[in-house]
Amino acid sequence: MDLKNYIDSGVIERYLLGLATPEQERELTYMRRLHPILEQEIAAAELRIENNIMAEAVPPPVQLKDKIMEGARRHKHQEYYFKQDNGQGGQQPPQDPVYINIRPGWNRQITVSIWWRCAFLALCVLTMSLAASTWYLFKRTNQLEEVLIRLKTPAEALLPAGR
């Protein structure tokens, strides 16, 4: 394959713009290993694309910057960074260290209705009483089984051997 024709085919531009097929990307990767001059061509193509984009760019309205900056000044968390000085009316950095919570999502609280709390407590009491009664009935059943085994066992088996 002729390298000049390959460069002129537009594969590099399609690759840089993300429009190349996976087969074309593999082919370009292979060709880059074979021909180091392609690295310079890719850099030049990137520069041409960037220059075209910058030449055709539409700047945002000037009022937009002023509006964004005003919104940043009115931000509600500004008091974390600056304190108002009553004497001069200007803003000064705080004298005391200011701690900022870096994980605000971890301080979430859930409010629960009083009825749900009562239902939860009732469920806990019910569960504990069922567990206690189950334990009591298990122990009582074991005791009754031992008594039943003694009653069914003949009297001779209970006497010591040798008598």
Phi and psi at residue 92, to the nearest 5°: -130, 155
- How would you classify residue 18: left for phi > 0, otherwise alpha for psi between -120 and 50, otherwise beta? left
Q: Which residue has the higher pLDDT, 79 or 63?
A: 63
pTM over 0.85: no
Q: What is the full DSSP assignment across the chain?
A: --HHHHHHTTHHHHHHHT-S-HHHHHHHHHHHHH-THHHHHHHHHHHHHHHHHHHH--PPPHHHHHHHHHHHHT-GGGGGT-EE-TTTSSEE--SS-----S-GGGG------HHHHHHHHHHHHHHHHHHHHHHHHHHHHHHHHHHHHHHHS-HHHHSPTT-
Q: Is residue 60's pLDDT more than 60? A: yes
Q: What is the pLDDT of residue 162?
A: 58
Give percent above pLDDT 70 in the chain.
72
Domain ranges of the chain: 3-56, 121-158
Confidence of residue 68 (pLDDT cuts 50, 70, 90): confident
